């Protein structure tokens, strides 16, 4: 059984906008919006990858729908995207590329670390590259939870198993950081899942591919076939911006344009883009984080942040603690574990767990939040 690109676009937009299933007609959807959406989901670049440009276009379409509904029916109701009609969701994630480095390497890059941390590391009192427990402790103190993605073959999983299991038991997520070759091979993906599950005793529900490797023809199908609930790979590594022009979770299409069970959480920003590729200073990098986050908030999206766990003691990477302190002051629906996204988007208006946003004829026509 197959669907069509136009049917997929209808379902995508109903879910994205919180509209009841079957309420959106094909003919009211702007052709340019439908064409660009289907194009980027096949790997073409968005027209403006520096911003969540397709989301902005969808927001404009929502305003047009609202005006028409008010004129014709006198009211407009949709399901809010986030609990309590919040303007933004945030997903904090950490790739675990390494958990240790030889002292020879540490001495070569010693200027990255504080003198106090370096001194402790040289005495064997501190591991500079294994920060899972540190992140859990400091995030937990601020009321946050996040996701850690572990490679299955780059280090001994037995060394990270105790910390991973402790964190998992306290509400952090342990996912797969897809090893080389998993992004386009069912067999290699199966092997990686089995290695990680056996190594830490936790079956991963979510993943992100190492180096953000991704094949639009194969990767989503491989991930869906392996039973993952979600992926959060699709984003940029060498530049800032939004690879798909999207900033909200969605179910990608299969080859026949049917929505997969898999959910994609578009990646908004990676830490090494700031320090490794663009050579930003800490102040400038922090400003970029907040600038992109504001872009996502403008479209009521999900700000998915990748911050490597081995970087939080380094220059540049230590900015993470400033970000956490800043975000703690805001009342966003922080969603770090997959439970928050299992059924997203649900396109039956009024489903449990989501508020409704309604506008009547005598009210301000802006969406209420």
Distance CA 237, CA 274 (A): 9
CB distance 112 to 325 below 8 Å: no
Structure tokens at 178: 């897809």
Report the share of the chain in percent with pLDDT over 70: 89
φ, ψ for residue 225, nearest 5 deg: -65, -25
Residue 285 has pLDDT above 80, yes or no: yes
pLDDT in the model for residue 175: 97
Distance CA 368, CA 57 (A): 19
Query: Tokens 């992109």, residue?
Result: 292
- Give how far Cα 252 sits from Cα of 53, 188, 297, 328, Å: 18, 21, 22, 32
Mean pLDDT over each residue of the chain, to the nearest integer:
89
pLDDT tens, 343-368?
344 433 333 344 444 443 322 323 33
pLDDT tens, 25-37?
999 999 999 999 9
Distance CA 344, CA 362 (A): 32
C-alpha distance across the termini of the chain, in Å: 39
Q: Report the pLDDT averaged over residues 310-334.
A: 84
Report residue 333's pLDDT band, with 50, 70 and 90 as the boundaries: low
Q: Report the pLDDT averaged over residues 187-192.
A: 98
Distance CA 19, CA 325 (A): 35
pLDDT in the model for residue 85: 81
Q: Looking at residue 275, what DSSP letter applies? A: I
pLDDT tens, 18-64?
999 999 999 999 999 999 999 999 999 999 999 999 999 999 999 99
Residue 113 CA from chain centroid, whole number: 28
Residue 81 has pLDDT above 90, yes or no: no
Q: pLDDT higher for 324 or 249?
A: 249
Return the closest-CA partner of residue 232 out of 189, 264, 205, 276: 264
Structure tokens at 170: 């306290």
Residue 136 CA from chain centroid, whole number: 19
Q: pLDDT higher for 3 or 354?
A: 3
Report residue 2's pLDDT band, with 50, 70 and 90 as the boundaries: low
Q: CA torsion sign, 323 to 49 to 340 to 221? A: negative
Residue 276's region, left for phi above 0, alpha for psi from -120 to 50, else beta, is alpha
pLDDT tens, 120-165?
999 999 999 999 999 999 999 988 899 999 999 999 999 999 999 9
Number of CB atoms found within 10 A of residue 309's CB: 26
Domains of the chain, first to last: 5-83+344-360 (no CATH), 88-340 (3.20.20.370)
Number of CB atoms found within 10 A of residue 266's CB: 25
Which ranges of the chain does DSSP label H, i.e. alpha helix?
Answer: 5-17, 31-40, 53-72, 103-108, 115-122, 132-141, 157-169, 186-200, 219-225, 271-272, 282-298, 319-327
φ, ψ for residue 89, nearest 5 deg: -115, 150
Report residue 325's pLDDT band, with 50, 70 and 90 as the boundaries: confident
Q: pLDDT higher for 212 or 353?
A: 212
Report residue 89's pLDDT band, with 50, 70 and 90 as the boundaries: confident
Distance CA 257, CA 25 (A): 18
Q: pLDDT higher for 217 or 363?
A: 217
Indicate the pTM of the whole model. Answer: 0.91
């Amino acid at each position: 059984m197959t669907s069509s690109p136009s049917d997929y676009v209808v379902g995508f937009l109903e879910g994205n906008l919180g509209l009841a299933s079957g309420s959106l007609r094909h003919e009211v959807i702007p052709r340019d919006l439908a064409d660009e959406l289907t194009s980027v989901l096949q790997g073409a670049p968005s027209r403006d990858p520096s911003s969540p440009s397709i989301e902005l276009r969808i927001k404009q379409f929502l305003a047009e729908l609202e005006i028409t509904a008010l004129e014709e029916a006198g009211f407009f109701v949709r399901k809010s995207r986030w609990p309590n009609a919040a303007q933004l969701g945030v997903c904090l994630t950490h790739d675990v590329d390494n958990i240790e480095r030889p002292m020879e390497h540490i001495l070569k890059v010693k200027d990255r670390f504080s003198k106090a941390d370096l001194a402790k590391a040289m005495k064997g009192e501190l591991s500079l590259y294994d920060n899972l427990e540190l992140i859990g402790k400091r995030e937990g103190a601020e009321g946050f939870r996040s996701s850690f993605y572990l490679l299955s073959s780059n280090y001994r999983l037995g060394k990270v198993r105790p910390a991973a299991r402790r964190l998992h038991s306290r509400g952090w997520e342990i996912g797969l950081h897809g090893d080389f070759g998993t992004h386009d091979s069912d067999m290699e993906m199966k092997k990686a899942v089995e290695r990680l599950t056996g190594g830490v005793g936790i079956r991963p529900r979510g993943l992100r591919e190492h180096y953000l490797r991704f094949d639009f023809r194969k990767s989503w199908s491989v991930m869906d076939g392996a039973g993952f609930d979600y992926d959060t790979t699709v984003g940029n590594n060498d530049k800032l911006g939004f690879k798909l022009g999207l900033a909200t979770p969605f179910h990608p299409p299969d080859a026949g344009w049917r929505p997969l069970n898999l959910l994609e959480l578009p990646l908004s920003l990676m830490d090494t883009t700031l320090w490794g590729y663009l050579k930003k200073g800490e102040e400038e990098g922090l400003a970029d984080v907040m600038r992109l986050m504001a872009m996502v908030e403008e479209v009521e999206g999900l700000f998915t942040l990748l911050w490597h766990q081995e970087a939080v003691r380094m220059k540049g990477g230590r900015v993470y603690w400033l970000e956490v302190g800043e975000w703690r002051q805001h009342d966003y629906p922080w969603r770090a574990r997959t439970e928050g996204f299992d059924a997203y988007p649900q396109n039956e208006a009024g489903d449990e767990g989501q508020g409704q946003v309604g506008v009547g004829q005598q009210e301000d026509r802006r969406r209420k939040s």
